[in-house]
Protein backbone atom coordinates (compact mmCIF):
# COMPACT_ATOMS: atom_id res chain seq x y z
CA UNK A 1 0.00 0.00 0.00
CA UNK A 2 1.13 3.56 -0.75
CA UNK A 3 -0.02 6.51 1.32
CA UNK A 4 0.38 10.10 0.18
CA UNK A 5 0.22 13.19 2.38
CA UNK A 6 -0.24 16.49 0.56
CA UNK A 7 0.22 19.93 2.03
CA UNK A 8 -1.86 21.69 -0.60
CA UNK A 9 -0.49 24.70 -2.38
CA UNK A 10 2.46 25.89 -4.41
CA UNK A 11 4.71 26.21 -1.34
CA UNK A 12 3.67 22.85 0.08
CA UNK A 13 5.15 19.41 0.27
CA UNK A 14 4.28 15.84 -0.61
CA UNK A 15 5.19 12.71 1.33
CA UNK A 16 4.87 9.12 0.16
CA UNK A 17 4.82 6.26 2.65
CA UNK A 18 5.50 2.87 1.14
CA UNK A 19 6.72 -0.28 2.86
CA UNK A 20 7.19 1.64 6.14
CA UNK A 21 9.54 4.10 4.43
CA UNK A 22 8.85 7.80 3.94
CA UNK A 23 9.85 9.70 0.80
CA UNK A 24 9.55 13.44 1.10
CA UNK A 25 9.46 16.13 -1.63
CA UNK A 26 8.79 19.80 -2.03
CA UNK A 27 5.71 20.26 -4.22
CA UNK A 28 6.92 20.57 -7.82
CA UNK A 29 6.00 23.94 -9.31
CA UNK A 30 6.77 26.28 -12.18
CA UNK A 31 6.28 29.98 -12.83
CA UNK A 32 4.30 31.45 -15.70
CA UNK A 33 2.65 34.70 -16.72
CA UNK A 34 -0.39 35.62 -14.70
CA UNK A 35 -3.32 35.02 -17.05
CA UNK A 36 -5.49 37.46 -15.04
CA UNK A 37 -3.25 40.45 -15.64
CA UNK A 38 -1.94 42.33 -18.64
CA UNK A 39 1.08 43.37 -16.57
CA UNK A 40 4.26 41.32 -16.57
CA UNK A 41 3.42 39.47 -13.34
CA UNK A 42 3.97 35.77 -12.80
CA UNK A 43 2.11 33.13 -10.82
CA UNK A 44 3.25 29.78 -9.49
CA UNK A 45 1.48 26.60 -10.59
CA UNK A 46 1.79 22.89 -9.85
CA UNK A 47 4.14 21.16 -12.28
CA UNK A 48 1.81 18.26 -13.05
CA UNK A 49 4.24 16.25 -15.24
CA UNK A 50 6.77 16.19 -12.38
CA UNK A 51 4.02 15.35 -9.86
CA UNK A 52 2.97 12.48 -12.14
CA UNK A 53 6.57 11.22 -12.25
CA UNK A 54 6.76 11.25 -8.45
CA UNK A 55 3.47 9.40 -8.13
CA UNK A 56 4.53 6.85 -10.75
CA UNK A 57 7.56 5.95 -8.58
CA UNK A 58 5.40 4.91 -5.62
CA UNK A 59 1.96 4.26 -7.09
CA UNK A 60 0.38 0.85 -6.58
CA UNK A 61 -2.67 0.31 -8.72
CA UNK A 62 -5.83 0.11 -6.60
CA UNK A 63 -3.78 0.38 -3.39
CA UNK A 64 -2.79 4.05 -3.20
CA UNK A 65 -4.52 6.50 -0.90
CA UNK A 66 -4.00 10.22 -0.36
CA UNK A 67 -4.89 12.74 2.31
CA UNK A 68 -4.87 16.38 1.22
CA UNK A 69 -4.95 19.41 3.41
CA UNK A 70 -8.11 21.37 2.73
CA UNK A 71 -7.12 24.54 0.83
CA UNK A 72 -7.35 28.06 2.12
CA UNK A 73 -10.66 29.63 1.08
CA UNK A 74 -10.89 33.14 2.45
CA UNK A 75 -12.38 36.01 0.39
CA UNK A 76 -10.19 38.43 2.37
CA UNK A 77 -7.12 36.59 1.05
CA UNK A 78 -8.29 36.38 -2.54
CA UNK A 79 -4.92 35.84 -4.27
CA UNK A 80 -3.75 33.17 -1.81
CA UNK A 81 -7.14 31.41 -1.94
CA UNK A 82 -7.13 31.44 -5.74
CA UNK A 83 -3.64 29.92 -5.79
CA UNK A 84 -4.69 27.24 -3.28
CA UNK A 85 -7.76 26.30 -5.34
CA UNK A 86 -5.72 26.18 -8.55
CA UNK A 87 -3.14 23.93 -6.83
CA UNK A 88 -5.85 21.65 -5.47
CA UNK A 89 -7.50 21.26 -8.88
CA UNK A 90 -4.18 20.39 -10.56
CA UNK A 91 -3.37 17.83 -7.86
CA UNK A 92 -6.83 16.23 -8.04
CA UNK A 93 -6.58 15.89 -11.83
CA UNK A 94 -3.33 13.96 -11.41
CA UNK A 95 -4.77 11.79 -8.61
CA UNK A 96 -7.86 11.02 -10.67
CA UNK A 97 -5.69 10.07 -13.64
CA UNK A 98 -4.05 7.41 -11.43
CA UNK A 99 -7.39 6.51 -9.78
CA UNK A 100 -5.96 7.37 -6.36
CA UNK A 101 -8.53 7.38 -3.58
CA UNK A 102 -8.34 10.62 -1.59
CA UNK A 103 -9.84 12.45 1.33
CA UNK A 104 -9.35 15.87 2.96
CA UNK A 105 -8.19 17.09 6.35
CA UNK A 106 -8.30 20.48 8.05
CA UNK A 107 -4.87 21.61 9.16
CA UNK A 108 -5.94 21.98 12.80
CA UNK A 109 -6.64 18.24 13.05
CA UNK A 110 -3.10 17.09 12.31
CA UNK A 111 -1.35 20.14 13.78
CA UNK A 112 -2.80 19.59 17.28
CA UNK A 113 -1.73 15.96 17.22
CA UNK A 114 1.83 16.29 15.93
CA UNK A 115 2.88 19.89 16.58
CA UNK A 116 1.23 20.36 19.96
CA UNK A 117 -1.97 21.92 21.24
CA UNK A 118 -0.11 24.89 22.74
CA UNK A 119 1.32 26.09 19.40
CA UNK A 120 -0.78 28.98 18.06
CA UNK A 121 -0.44 31.19 14.99
CA UNK A 122 0.57 30.37 11.44
CA UNK A 123 4.22 31.42 11.83
CA UNK A 124 4.67 29.44 15.06
CA UNK A 125 3.05 26.35 13.53
CA UNK A 126 5.31 26.57 10.44
CA UNK A 127 8.38 26.99 12.67
CA UNK A 128 7.44 23.93 14.77
CA UNK A 129 6.76 21.87 11.63
CA UNK A 130 10.18 22.85 10.29
CA UNK A 131 11.91 22.10 13.59
CA UNK A 132 10.38 18.63 13.91
CA UNK A 133 10.66 17.87 10.19
CA UNK A 134 14.39 18.58 10.15
CA UNK A 135 14.86 16.05 12.95
CA UNK A 136 13.23 13.41 10.76
CA UNK A 137 14.76 14.53 7.43
CA UNK A 138 18.07 16.17 8.45
CA UNK A 139 19.44 16.26 4.89
CA UNK A 140 16.35 17.90 3.45
CA UNK A 141 16.50 21.66 3.45
CA UNK A 142 12.91 22.82 3.34
CA UNK A 143 10.73 25.24 5.27
CA UNK A 144 7.63 23.10 5.01
CA UNK A 145 7.36 19.56 6.31
CA UNK A 146 3.56 19.57 6.62
CA UNK A 147 3.17 16.91 3.90
CA UNK A 148 5.05 14.47 6.13
CA UNK A 149 2.77 15.10 9.12
CA UNK A 150 -0.32 14.77 6.92
CA UNK A 151 1.01 11.44 5.64
CA UNK A 152 1.70 10.36 9.24
CA UNK A 153 -1.88 11.29 10.16
CA UNK A 154 -3.15 9.19 7.25
CA UNK A 155 -1.02 6.26 8.36
CA UNK A 156 -2.21 6.55 11.99
CA UNK A 157 -5.91 7.04 11.08
CA UNK A 158 -6.23 5.13 7.82
CA UNK A 159 -9.10 2.85 8.83
CA UNK A 160 -11.16 5.76 10.13
CA UNK A 161 -10.52 7.95 7.07
CA UNK A 162 -11.22 5.31 4.44
CA UNK A 163 -13.49 3.07 6.56
CA UNK A 164 -11.82 -0.12 5.40
CA UNK A 165 -12.30 -3.34 7.27
The DSSP line for 15-83 is EEEETTEEEEEEPPEEEEE-TT-SSS-EEEEE-HHHHHHHHHHH--TT-EEEEEEPPP--GGGHHHHHH
pLDDT tens-digit readout, 43-60: 899 999 999 999 999 998
Residues with Cβ < 8 Å from 70, sequence gap 6 or more? 8, 104, 105, 106, 107
Provide φ and ψ at 73, rounded to 5°. -140, 85
Fold of 2-162: Nucleotidyltransferase; domain 5 (3.30.420)
- Delimit the domains of the chain by residue range: 2-162
Q: What is the Cα–Cα distance from 86 to 91, expressed in whole angstroms?
A: 9
- pLDDT of 165 reads 42
138-142's contacts with Cβ under 8 Å and 24+ in sequence apart are: 140/24, 142/13, 142/24, 142/26
- pLDDT of 149 reads 95
- pLDDT of 87 reads 94
Mean pLDDT per block of 10 residues along the chain (165 residues) reads 95 91 92 76 92 94 93 83 92 96 94 86 87 86 86 95 74
Could you say which DSSP state residue 137 is in? S
The C-alpha angle 4, 10, 13, rounded to 5 degrees, equals 30
- pLDDT of 20 reads 83
The alpha-carbon radius of gyration of the chain (Å, integer) is 16
The pTM for the full model equals 0.90
Amino acid sequence: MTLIGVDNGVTGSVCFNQDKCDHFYKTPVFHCKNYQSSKNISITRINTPILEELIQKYWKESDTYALLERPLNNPGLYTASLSAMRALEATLIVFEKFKIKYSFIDSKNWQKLYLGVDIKGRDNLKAKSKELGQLIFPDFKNDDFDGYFICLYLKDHFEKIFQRK
